[in-house]
Chains A and B, each alone.
Chain A
């Protein structure tokens, strides 16, 4: 079974600064997807960024980028120019890309609470 580990329960950053959230995962599969989701307090979970394991290029979405190290099974999220609205719980998630009985369910890490200081 796959596992996802987020070793930083809490992180903080000053507004306009850069912060990196860590995620490691364990799998024996070669084809999969990795995601970062953001869950603001009492609000809906939304997708921040997605990475396909077969792609060597790191995904980027505006101020959000990832550092995907497949051999090390590491998938960190970098937030540049942090804004107050970035404050939330961030979850790293894994999804098998194979068929069979995986059906695309997500396996989540424990989450990292990000605080942004003005």
Chain B
């Protein structure tokens, strides 16, 4: 266990529905990252928070995606009007002052 938690671990939804995932980072880490991993591939960067500020967003993050980190603690990632192409593992990672990112177990999203 790395100390980063994510909920839910699995989410099955129908196309067109909205879903929200939560990430709780290691408490003293002020940097938080979201990645998306499709089957058999490496994770791809989605977005980055430093404290509560969202400082970088990948072009992978379409306007149907939104992320927040209120008060610089936990973070949420919401996908609106889900599409089958959104099916993937969504990973959260946190980092303190050191260079190492610690990953959560991920949320596996299946869009039917």
A45 proximal to B (CB < 8 A): yes
B42 touches A50 (CB 8 A): no
Q: Which residues of A contact B45 (CB under 8 A)?
A: 105-107
Asked, given contacts A101-B56, A104-B31, A104-B95, whether A47 binds B100 with beta carbons under 8 Å apart, the answer is yes
Cβ-defined contact, B91 with A45, below 8 A: yes
Tell me how many residues of A have a C-beta within 8 Å of chain B: 25
Bound CA span A111–B35, Å: 15
Do A103 and B48 touch across chains, with their CB atoms under 8 A apart? yes
A35 interface hit (Cβ, 8 Å):
yes
Instruction: List the count of A-B residue pairs having beta carbons below 8 Å apart.
Output: 61
Chain A min CB distance to B76 (Å): 19
Chain B interface, number of residues (Cβ within 8 angstroms): 26
8 A-B pairs besides A44-B1, A105-B45 with CB distance below 8 A are: A45-B43, A46-B2, A47-B102, A103-B55, A103-B56, A104-B101, A106-B35, A110-B41
Binding site for B on A (CB under 8 A): 4, 33, 35, 37, 43-47, 50, 52, 91, 93, 95, 97, 101, 103-111
B104 / chain A contacts, CB cutoff of 8 Å = 44
Tell me if B105 is interfacial: C-beta within 8 Å of chain A. Answer: yes
Q: How far is the CA of A110 from the CA of B31 in the complex (A)?
A: 24
B21 touches A (CB below 8 Å)? no
